[in-house]
Structure 1
């Protein structure tokens, strides 16, 4: 992909706003030819659009290379059939919604285009700082250029992993798309533990956050596996070993795979809703 993209983004909530920020700060977009549609944009979105030259809720449309569907999947039946602009059938649709399949999205767009091309993507919130991990699902209806465009978009927001199909994306979304919330919950729990030991809330959060960030940086730089690093931290019979034993008693090792499977089940429920 060599030319900047003319993009229309429908919705700019937490995840959509994070992606928009990553794209606006890079060289990916034709900003003067791009648009954001959101009836209740955040102040951050308003400022970003104003500073970058991206139109926010314009009264007129033109042709777009890509349409990013960043509204909740429950809103698709009411929002998608209302979309329309010149050369609609030439637009690549990129959905970041969980559960709703590419075929379902194409059906909702069928009155505007004969064969809408839909790429499903599952991004993560760290896309806001261009450190996200995005899953992309292969779709036989997509061209090589479509896949190239989708990969370029998501690489602007971090790392990219292609899934063989949508089923694989749904199975893995708990590992990537949901996991930031899992990690942040752990930080909350450690901060609470520090408070219960008498530390101020501010100091407790700083300890937990910096320990989390430092560990992530070590894992990224060291080259050893998580297991090897954990063993390096854990002296036999020591304090860390005692803490890990307590976690294992509470089923910690099983809780994360269980959480990933719960996310997958919910994705299937959303698909059938």
Structure 2
């Protein structure tokens, strides 16, 4: 049986909290030898950690197999150099931040970890229900054991996909990391459409959400690609075709392509320190 991971997580906001829940639920981490560092833990976080027996803001009196950097990119310079615990240089560092590179993180760690081992990952919010998809960037400085531990941790939150390098991770994060917001925006649009046709706000939410959830389950179970499945539910000259005509005229596919491209552009700006 594989030994649970001893982990310290720096920052447990929306994404960090979602990941933590999946790691506790899956048993991939050992709560007794793990910890969370967060200056303002939410009541939800405190309750979750309390039930699991996971320490919040403990004294730095033990080492950890792995450290998850769950803070915003602009906070790295002030927080990462101040981190310290026994056997600090033996810890694998996993960053979930957009934009800041392995090289930059390594420079911040070098004073206390001469040969820092850093893995960049990009998770998604559905990790909270262990249904996310996480991108992991290949790093030749990592050992096979490092890669296996990083993949094991992120696989507990859903599917994983290794990218050739950090640039590919930045390019694809708009398809995975940003896309939940894009898809939720589509659900908001369907809710607005239902209300425009006379449904109450409560009914509009129910109808839009259940249609979205059901379609996702169908796509997963059916086996056909999205285009083929779409064609199967679109009768020529019917109501669905009439609706799709409007979406196509307004460039729904082009809009998604542009949205992902713009997300990548922003990732490059963040990497350069552009506000």
* Partner residue, 1:204: 204
User: Aligned-pair distance for 1:233?
Assistant: 1.0
Q: Which runs of 4+ in 1 moved over 3 A?
A: none
Partner Cα distance (2:26, 2:91) in 1: 21
* Partner residue, 1:100: 100
Give per-residue Cα distances to partners, 1:35-92, cap 9 Å, x unaligned: 0000111111101110001100113331000000000011000010100000000000
Secondary structure of the structure 1 residue equivalent to 2:161 = strand
User: Aligned-pair distance for 1:3?
Assistant: 1.4
* Partner residue, 2:22: 22
Give per-residue Cα distances to partners, 1:125-175, cap 9 Å, x unaligned: 000000000000000110000000011001100001000110110000000
Partner Cα distance (2:257, 2:242) in 1: 23
User: Aligned-pair distance for 1:26?
Assistant: 1.6
Give per-residue Cα distances to partners, 1:100-143, cap 9 Å, x unaligned: 00010000111111011000000000000000000000001100
* Partner residue, 1:141: 141
Partner Cα distance (1:27, 1:50) in 2: 15
Q: Is the Cα–Cα contact under 8 Å of residues 133 and 159 in structure 2 kept in the other structure?
A: yes
Q: Is the Cα–Cα contact under 8 Å of residues 60 and 86 in structure 2 kept in the other structure?
A: no
User: Aligned-pair distance for 1:30?
Assistant: 1.6
Q: Which moved more, 1:128-137 or 1:40-49?
A: 40-49
Consecutive unaligned residues in structure 2, runs of 5 or more: none
* Partner residue, 1:168: 168
* Partner residue, 1:47: 47
Q: Is the Cα–Cα contact under 8 Å of residues 8 and 34 in structure 2 kept in the other structure?
A: yes
* Partner residue, 1:84: 84
* Partner residue, 2:225: 225
Mapped pair 1:247 → 2:244 = no
Q: Is the Cα–Cα contact under 8 Å of residues 7 and 68 in structure 2 kept in the other structure?
A: yes
Q: Is the Cα–Cα contact under 8 Å of residues 60 and 84 in structure 2 kept in the other structure?
A: no
Partner Cα distance (2:253, 2:239) in 1: 19
Secondary structure of the structure 1 residue equivalent to 2:152 = helix
Aligned residues: 273
Please show how residues 144-163 of structure 1 align to structure 2 within 5 Å: 144-163=144-163
TM-score (norm 2): 0.98
TM-score (norm 1): 0.99
Give per-residue Cα distances to partners, 1:210-231, cap 9 Å, x unaligned: 0000000000001111011100
Partner Cα distance (1:269, 1:61) in 2: 38
Secondary structure of the structure 1 residue equivalent to 2:68 = strand
Q: Is the Cα–Cα contact under 8 Å of residues 95 and 121 in structure 2 kept in the other structure?
A: yes
Backbone CA RMSD of aligned residues:
0.9
Partner Cα distance (1:137, 1:239) in 2: 44
